[in-house]
Chain A
Amino acid sequence: MKVIVDMDRCQDHGQCVFSAPEVFRLDDAGHLVYEADPDESLRDAVEEAADVCPLQAITVG
Chain B
Amino acid sequence: MDRVVIVGASMGGLRAAEQLRAAGYEGELIAIGDEPHMPYNRPPLSKEVLAAEVTHAAVAFRLRDSVADVTWRLGTPVAAADLDAGELTLADGSTLACDGLVVATGLRPRRLPLPGGEDRRHVVRTLDDAARLRPCLTPGARVVVVGAGFVGCEVAATARTLGAEVTVVAPETEPMLRPLGPELGAALRARHEARGVTFHLGATVRAFTDTGVTLSSGADLAADVVVEAVGSTPRTEWLEGNGLDLSDGVLCDGTLRVEGRPNVVAVGDVARFPNPRYDDVPRRVEHWSIPTDTAKRAARTLLGEDGGPFLPLPSFWSDQYDLRLQSFGAPALGEDVRVLEGDLETEAVVGHHRDGRLVGVVMLGMARRMAHYRGRLLDDVPALT
Q: Which residue numbers of A lie inside 8 Å of B, CB to CB?
A: 11-15, 17-18, 26, 30, 47, 50-52, 54-56, 59
User: Which one of B44, B292, B326, B374 contacts A51 once the chains associate, using CB atoms below 8 Å?
Assistant: B292
Q: Which B residues are CB-close (under 8 A) to A18?
A: 371, 374
How many residues in B have their beta carbons less than 8 Å from beta carbons of A? 21
- Which of B15, B326, B367 is within 8 Å of A26, CB to CB? B367
Interface of B is mostly: helix
Pairwise interchain contact B41-A13, C-beta atoms closer than 8 A: no
User: Within the complex, which residue of B41, B44, B48, B371 is in contact with A17, where a contact is CB–CB below 8 Å?
Assistant: B371
Mask: chain B, 277-321; 1 = CB below 8 Å from A; 0 = not: 000000000001100100000000000000000000001010100
Verify A52–B292 contact, CB threshold 8 A. yes
Q: A55 and B44: CB pair below 8 A? A: yes
For residue A57, give the distance in angstroms from its CB to the closest CB of chain B. 10
CB–CB A30/B367 < 8 A: yes
A51→B16 CA distance, assembly (Å): 12
Judged by a CB distance under 8 angstroms, whether B112 is at the interface is no
Minimum C-beta distance from A3 to chain B (A): 13
Please determine whether B374 and A54 come into contact, CB atoms closer than 8 angstroms.
Answer: no
Q: B310 CB to closest chain A CB, in angstroms?
A: 16
Give Cα distance in the complex from A55 to B44, angstroms: 8
Q: How far is the CA of A59 from the CA of B64 in the complex (A)?
A: 10
Q: Is B38 an interface residue (CB 8 A)?
A: no
Minimum CB–CB distance from A36 to chain B (whole Å) comes to 17
> Smallest CB-CB separation from B319: which chain A residue?
A11
Evaluate whether A54 and B43 lie within 8 angstroms (CB atoms) in the complex, with A11-B319, A18-B371 already known: yes
Contact A12 B367, beta carbon cutoff 8 Å: yes
B367 to A56, Cβ gap below 8 A? no
Whether B289 and A52, one on each chain, are in contact in the complex, defined by CB atoms closer than 8 angstroms, is yes
Given A52-B289, A55-B44; 16 other pairs, CB 8 A cutoff: A11-B319, A12-B367, A13-B317, A17-B371, A18-B371, A26-B367, A30-B368, A47-B64, A51-B15, A54-B288, A54-B317, A55-B41, A56-B41, A56-B59, A56-B62, A59-B62
